[in-house]
């Protein structure tokens, strides 16, 4: 409907832009902001640091072990009434992980693989009552089930006594071993008399045959039998003193368990449980600080983390058993190339591309500076930090998406010539080390790696795409273990998209069936992980299906009602034949959060990320990625709203002053019905404009994308200038003020990642196809619509974690 436009406010003049740049980057301009510096030839080994800056998490260097997991070995750990304390790193020192798994005084914590998922998790025994933890997720793992077996005074034991791959439970009553063949209530599977009533029971796979045996410690002597059957001891020897606490485990990862003793904080660990022979068993001595809490007890944890914590400690053996996909990843060659502007340009201060880099560097400065010190510094000694521990399960998005966005921001800056040590206050090596640390931590806790982890949810494909893209940009810095976790995470989430249908706001007849809730952004971000998977692993068995589903999602994401009957061909199929619904009005506007919402119109850029990824991969951009791109971008200047006219979404009147969403020549954004997140945000408009500029998508806009970018990046820099800190953050240091500017919990990381996306598009446009700021090569190949596949079709058998009914409330 036609509406009168309003007079625009005065544009931000060039002198104001210059003042913003001057206030932010004067020192950098004097020290080489226009050039990121030479790339080190030994980048994998490079590890320069910033003198006086808070130390970063240590980098993990590729070692001799290239498989995703190290052999299972037992690490020193202590149970305590309030928590479980573990030392995953090698050598002596304090414990470095804490899990809120309480073991009350008089109870016993043991470990096992209770459900054959390949991961060892705790079980706590108290007078015949067992509490099982089937997953080690976050700092506060949740018990999954409880059962009763045994009585008061019984001593608990666990082991795979029948060699079925699942840890069994049992109790020792006097000298009688009562064993179940599963970790559950039920009748006794086997009754064995072994040892004496006062002995201390121990269990382990003493001979490496995959079946746990039984044993006792009497005084300082161990009597071990290699089967859970009646009979004499297979191995007998003295070790330690009678007052030591006996423990058992595979201390060196050789596939056989042996005994040890703990004396105060010192663990004496014997390499072999067999009778002494030549060469004699060795004894490793480790000093691991014991918790001061009364009631603590040794409880060694079997984990695939490796001798120094190189691998994910909570990973399932399934990671190792699946076909390895990390080595199949094709690294991008489009790294560390040229800037997308001429540093010698005398008009550089008026160049919005230059200002986009400036804005990105400010965001990077905040992530690596003030935010790192506040959020991550105390966790820096952990090889894999527990990202899921930061928020409760209903807010899992914040726990995963925020570090994923931060990692992508720093990875983009470091590998696209944007990073500058002086402006950021950190070296490029430190930026990459920070990204690596977050990447491996996020991937470690994904359900493809850690049982019960995040994934297969409403928005998890997007989080995996952010993490995976960050990893791909720093692939040469990641260990083989981290690469495999990332690759399996990406494959898992991409395959989940093959098992879910394309979603629509309106059905095939054009009837709106999800009023106020377009599925445009879901489709576009789900397409993102598929595009990443194709770019990283073009030879994967599912690559052809990933491509087909991505085309389906991209075409549908911002499909108009008019497209439902259109004969227009997109990637070999008419719109009428491909589409089962629509997600946008015919003028390119969309509704979400029950209002007509400009922010969700900008999310079409999530489809445009396909061009960024195609450029990095040296491929053409699928035609579907740009479907309705010019229409939606042009709608910001071509669709006008009359003040007081009624919205088709909810019948409410449009708010003053009316007019177009963009106000050419100004930094203003008009929200006809307000914004769920706040009207002061600018970073996503910077990325929106940058992509339109980079790929020539502004053909239907009354305002050139370059000019729009100039205004909106100026608005972004103005936010930074007025945050009250000078530390690079986008929003105010005052939480209520910042919340009024953007109510999203992860607003800083979101703004930073949008600036990174903006810069990446400009960088790719300048380096990928020799078509800077113009339409890239388009793939018009025919891709037939893909039917919904089953888990068996894809090869994955993990169960979905469920969707988030509150997702719209949480996420922009």
Least confident span in 58-62, 65-69, 613-617? 58-62
Q: How confident is the model at residue 34 (pLDDT cuts 50, 70, 90)?
A: very low
- Tell me, rounded to whole angstroms, the distance of Cα 770 from its chain centroid: 33
How far apart CA 637 and CA 634 sit, in angstroms, is 6
Bridge partners, 86 (sequence order): 77, 97
| Mean pLDDT computed over every residue of the chain | 92
Q: How confident is the model at residue 30 (pLDDT cuts 50, 70, 90)?
A: very low
DSSP label at residue 777: P
3 pLDDT more than 50: no
Per DSSP (E only), the strands in 309-464 are none
Across 7-25, average pLDDT: 40
Across 508-532, average pLDDT: 98
Q: How confident is the model at residue 320 (pLDDT cuts 50, 70, 90)?
A: confident
248 pLDDT more than 70: yes
How far apart CA 226 and CA 235 sit, in angstroms, is 8
How far apart CA 531 and CA 310 sit, in angstroms, is 29
Q: How confident is the model at residue 275 (pLDDT cuts 50, 70, 90)?
A: low
Per DSSP (E only), the strands in 101-167 are 108-112, 121-126, 129-132, 145-148, 155-159
Q: What is the pLDDT of residues 403-449, one digit of tens each?
A: 999 999 999 999 999 999 999 999 999 999 999 999 999 999 999 99
Q: Where are the alpha helices (DSSP H) in 572-704?
A: 575-578, 598-602, 605-617, 629-638, 683-694
User: Which of these, 212, 138, 26, lies nearest to 398 by C-alpha position?
Assistant: 138
pLDDT of residue 812: 57
CB neighbours of residue 277 within 10 Å: 8
Q: How confident is the model at residue 708 (pLDDT cuts 50, 70, 90)?
A: very high
Q: What is the pLDDT of residues 597-652, one digit of tens each?
A: 999 999 999 999 999 999 999 999 999 999 999 999 999 999 999 999 999 999 99
How far apart CA 587 and CA 561 sit, in angstroms, is 10
How far apart CA 317 and CA 497 sit, in angstroms, is 24
User: Which of these, 203, 215, 212, 269, lies nearest to 240 by C-alpha position?
Assistant: 269
pLDDT of residue 796: 63
Q: How far apart are the first and last CA of the chain?
A: 28
CB neighbours of residue 218 within 10 Å: 14
Q: What is the pLDDT of residues 532-555, one digit of tens each?
A: 999 999 999 999 999 999 999 999
378 pLDDT more than 90: yes
Across 751-773, average pLDDT: 95
Q: Residue 286 contacts by C-beta under 8 Å, 6 or more apart in sequence? A: 76, 91, 92, 266, 267, 269
31 pLDDT more than 60: no
How far apart CA 35 and CA 662 sit, in angstroms, is 33
Q: Which pTM was predicted?
A: 0.92
Longest dimension (CA), the chain: 96
520 pLDDT more than 60: yes
Give the residue carrying structure tokens 């527990």.
Answer: 386
CB 156 within 8 A of CB 144: no
- Tell me, rounded to whole angstroms, the distance of Cα 635 from its chain centroid: 34
88-92, 381-385, 744-748, range with greatest mean pLDDT: 744-748
Q: How far is CA 110 from CA 120, 445, 684, in A?
A: 10, 22, 49
Residue-by-residue DSSP string for 407-420: HHHHHHHHHTT---
Q: What is the pLDDT of residues 666-675, one digit of tens each?
A: 999 999 999 9
Q: What is the pLDDT of residues 354-369, one digit of tens each?
A: 999 999 999 999 999 9
């Amino acid at each position: 409907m036609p509406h009168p436009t309003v007079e625009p406010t005065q544009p931000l003049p060039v002198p104001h832009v210059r003042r913003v740049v001057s206030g932010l980057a004067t020192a950098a301009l004097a020290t080489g902001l226009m050039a990121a510096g030479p790339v080190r030839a030994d980048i994998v080994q490079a590890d320069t640091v910033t003198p006086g800056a808070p130390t970063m998490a240590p980098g993990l260097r590729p070692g001799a072990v290239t498989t995703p997991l190290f052999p299972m070995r037992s690490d020193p750990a202590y149970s305590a009434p309030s928590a479980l304390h573990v030392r995953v790193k090698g050598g002596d020192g304090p414990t470095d992980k804490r899990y809120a798994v309480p073991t009350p005084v008089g109870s016993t914590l043991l470990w096992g693989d209770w459900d054959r998922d390949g991961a060892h998790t705790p079980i706590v025994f108290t007078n015949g009552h067992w509490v099982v933890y089937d997953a080690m997720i976050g700092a506060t793992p949740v018990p999954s089930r409880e059962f009763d077996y045994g009585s008061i005074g019984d001593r608990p034991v666990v082991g795979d006594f029948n060699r079925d791959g699942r840890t069994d439970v049992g109790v020792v009553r006097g000298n009688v071993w009562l064993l179940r063949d599963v970790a559950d209530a039920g009748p006794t599977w086997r009754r064995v008399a072994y040892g004496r009533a006062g002995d201390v029971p121990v269990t382990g796979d003493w001979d490496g045959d995959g079946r746990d045996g039984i044993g006792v410690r009497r005084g300082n002597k161990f009597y071990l039998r290699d089967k859970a059957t009646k009979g004499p001891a297979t191995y007998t020897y003295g070790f330690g003193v009678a007052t030591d606490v006996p423990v058992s485990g595979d201390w060196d990862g050789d596939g056989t368990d042996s005994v040890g003793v703990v004396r105060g904080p010192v663990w004496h660990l014997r390499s072999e449980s067999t009778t002494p022979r030549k060469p004699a068993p060795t004894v490793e001595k480790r000093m691991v600080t014991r918790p001061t809490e009364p009631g603590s007890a040794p409880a060694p944890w079997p984990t695939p983390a490796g001798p120094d914590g190189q691998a994910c400690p909570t990973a399932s053996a399934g990671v190792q058993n699946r076909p390895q996909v990390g080595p199949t990843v094709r690294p991008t060659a489009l790294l560390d190339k040229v800037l997308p502007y001429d540093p010698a340009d005398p008009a550089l201060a008026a160049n919005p591309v230059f200002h986009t880099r400036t804005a990105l560097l400010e965001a990077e400065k905040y992530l690596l500076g003030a935010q790192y010190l506040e959020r991550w510094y105390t966790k820096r000694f952990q090889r894999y930090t527990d990202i899921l521990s930061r928020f409760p399960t209903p807010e899992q998005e914040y726990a995963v998406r925020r570090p994923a966005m931060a990692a992508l921001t720093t990875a983009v800056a470091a590998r696209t010539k944007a990073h500058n040590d002086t402006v950021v206050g950190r070296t490029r090596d430190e930026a990459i080390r920070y990204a690596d640390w977050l990447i491996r931590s996020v991937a470690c806790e994904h359900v493809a790696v850690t049982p019960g982890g995040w994934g297969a949810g409403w928005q998890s494909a997007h989080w995996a795409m952010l993490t995976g893209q960050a990893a791909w940009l720093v692939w040469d810095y990641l260990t083989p273990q981290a690469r495999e976790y990332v690759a399996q995470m990406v494959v898992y989430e991409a395959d989940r998209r093959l098992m879910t249908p394309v979603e629509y706001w309106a059905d095939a007849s054009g009837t709106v069936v999800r009023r106020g809730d377009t599925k445009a952004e879901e489709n576009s971000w789900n397409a993102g992980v598929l595009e990443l998977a194709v770019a990283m692993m073009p030879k994967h068995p599912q690559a052809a299906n990933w491509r087909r589903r991505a085309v389906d999602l991209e075409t549908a994401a911002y499909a108009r009602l008019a497209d439902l009957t259109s004969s227009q061909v997109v990637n070999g199929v008419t719109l009428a034949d491909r589409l089962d619904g629509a997600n946008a009005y015919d003028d390119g506007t969309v509704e979400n959060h029950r209002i007509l919402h400009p922010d969700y119109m900008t999310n079409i850029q999530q489809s445009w990320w396909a061009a960024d990824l195609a450029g990095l991969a040296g491929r053409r951009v699928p035609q579907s990625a740009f479907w309705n791109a010019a229409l939606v971008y042009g709608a910001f200047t071509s669709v006008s709203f009359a003040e007081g006219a009624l919205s088709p979404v909810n019948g409410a009147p449009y708010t003053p002053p009316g007019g177009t969403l963009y106000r050419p020549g100004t930094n203003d954004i008009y929200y006809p019905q307000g914004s769920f997140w706040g009207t002061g945000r600018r970073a996503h408009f910077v990325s929106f404009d940058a992509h339109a500029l980079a790929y020539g998508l502004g053909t239907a806009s009354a305002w050139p994308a370059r000019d729009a970018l100039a205004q909106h990046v100026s608005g972004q820099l103005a936010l930074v200038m007025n945050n009250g800190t000078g530390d690079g953050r986008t929003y105010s240091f005052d939480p209520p003020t910042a919340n009024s500017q953007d109510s999203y919990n992860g607003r800083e990381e979101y703004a930073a990642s949008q600036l990174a996306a903006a810069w990446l598009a400009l960088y790719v446009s300048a380096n990928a196809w020799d078509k800077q700021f113009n339409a890239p090569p388009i793939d018009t190949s025919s891709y037939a619509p893909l039917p919904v596949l089953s888990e068996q079709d894809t090869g994955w058998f993990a169960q979905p974690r469920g969707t988030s009914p509150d997702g719209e409330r949480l996420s922009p």
